[in-house]
Amino acid sequence: MKNVGTDFIEGTRYPVYSSVDQILGVPEPAAELPVPEGARVIKLPNPKRIKVPDVPVRQAIEDWGPVTYFSRSSISQKELSFLLWCTQGLRKSESDQIHIRNTPSSGLRYPLETYFVAGEVEGLETGLYRYLPRSHSIVAESLGSDIPVMMGNASMNFQLVTRAAVTFLWVGVPYRSVWILGNRGYRSVLIEAGHTCQALIMAAACIGCRVQPSDLFHDEMMIQLAGLDPETQCPVYIATVGKVEREL
Q: What is the pLDDT of residue 127?
A: 97
Asked whether the CA dihedral 135, 141, 143, 146 is positive or negative, the reply is negative
pLDDT value at residue 15: 87
Q: What pLDDT score does 100 carry?
A: 87
Quote the pLDDT of residue 72. Answer: 86
User: Which pLDDT does position 246 carry in this prediction?
Assistant: 60
Q: What is the pLDDT of residue 2?
A: 77
List of the chain residues with pLDDT < 50: 248
Domains and CATH numbers, the chain: 40-242 (3.40.109.10)
Answer whether 0.85 is exceeded by the pTM: yes
Over residues 3-28, the pLDDT tens digits come to 899 999 999 998 888 899 999 999 99
